Amino acid sequence: MVTKPAKAAPDTARRSERSRRAIYDAALALVGEVGYPRTTIEGIAARAGVGKQTIYRWWGSKADVLLEAFLDLAAAPAAEPYAIPDTGDLAADIKGVLRATVDQMTDPRFDAPARALAAEGVVDAEAGRRFTAALMEPNIQLYVDRLRAAQEAGQVRAGIDPRIALEFFISPLAQRWLQHTGPISYEYTDTLVDYALYGLAPR
């Protein structure tokens, strides 16, 4: 009688973990295929092969499921380089993390669901703020921290506001991705870093 729950617990945990993963996969696939407005808890449950009560037990809304599914995707080993190193060479460190962002943007597993969420955020300000807070702010903070360290090391001018300066690294790439304003490549993001650090005007 004592061993039974002890044995059942790992089984339950394993089953839960399998369901959770199936739900994440279903949610990301579905939103990428039919868009955010037409993605439903019922649709995610059917595709994941679970009852919709299983989803409602763990999450309050489809936005909650999608946000967690995305955070899980971003925490996968392939996304590890997102932490910004501090080797002392600011240009090289930022170029490295931007190249990893380019890889992510050109990865179809990420691209379709990320576009579906981004599009919803464009037209629904509340959803947009929520997605940005959960999915982008932690990365933005990494740039702020790295730029502040560079400022302390005398590699960035003292008067520069890191929260604005970081946008030179992330915003042009984001706009090319969101609005199809130009091609995305390592060469492009490397150039952004050089232009941002040394400016456009002659020295």
Residue 175 engages a copy of itself in binding (rule: CB under 8 A): yes
Q: Give the pair of three-digit tokens for residue 49.
A: 């092969």
- Which residue from 7, 14, 15, 163 is in contact with a copy of itself, where contact means CB under 8 A? 163
Residue 155 engages a copy of itself in binding (rule: CB under 8 A): yes
Beta carbons within 10 angstroms of residue 70's beta carbon: 21
Rounded distance, CA 134 to CA 118, Å? 12
* End-to-end Cα spacing for the chain: 79
Residue 170 φ/ψ region, left for φ over 0, alpha for ψ in the -120 to 50 degree band, beta for the rest = alpha
Residue 168 engages a copy of itself in binding (rule: CB under 8 A): yes
Helices (H), 35-136: 41-48, 52-58, 62-74, 90-105, 108-123, 125-131
- Which residue from 27, 100, 120, 143 is in contact with a copy of itself, where contact means CB under 8 A? 120
Residue 108 engages a copy of itself in binding (rule: CB under 8 A): no
Q: How far is the CB of 167 from a copy of itself (least distance, A)?
A: 4
Residue with smaller CB distance to a copy of itself, 60 or 159: 159
Q: How far is the CB of 125 from a copy of itself (least distance, A)?
A: 6
Q: For residue 203, what is the DSSP state?
A: -
Residue 153 engages a copy of itself in binding (rule: CB under 8 A): no
Residue 70 engages a copy of itself in binding (rule: CB under 8 A): no
Rounded distance, CA 165 to CA 147, Å? 8
Contacts with a copy of itself by CB under 8 A lie at 35, 37, 115-116, 118-123, 125, 128-129, 131-132, 136, 140, 147, 154-157, 160-161, 163-165, 167-168, 170-172, 174-176, 178-182, 188, 191-192, 195-203
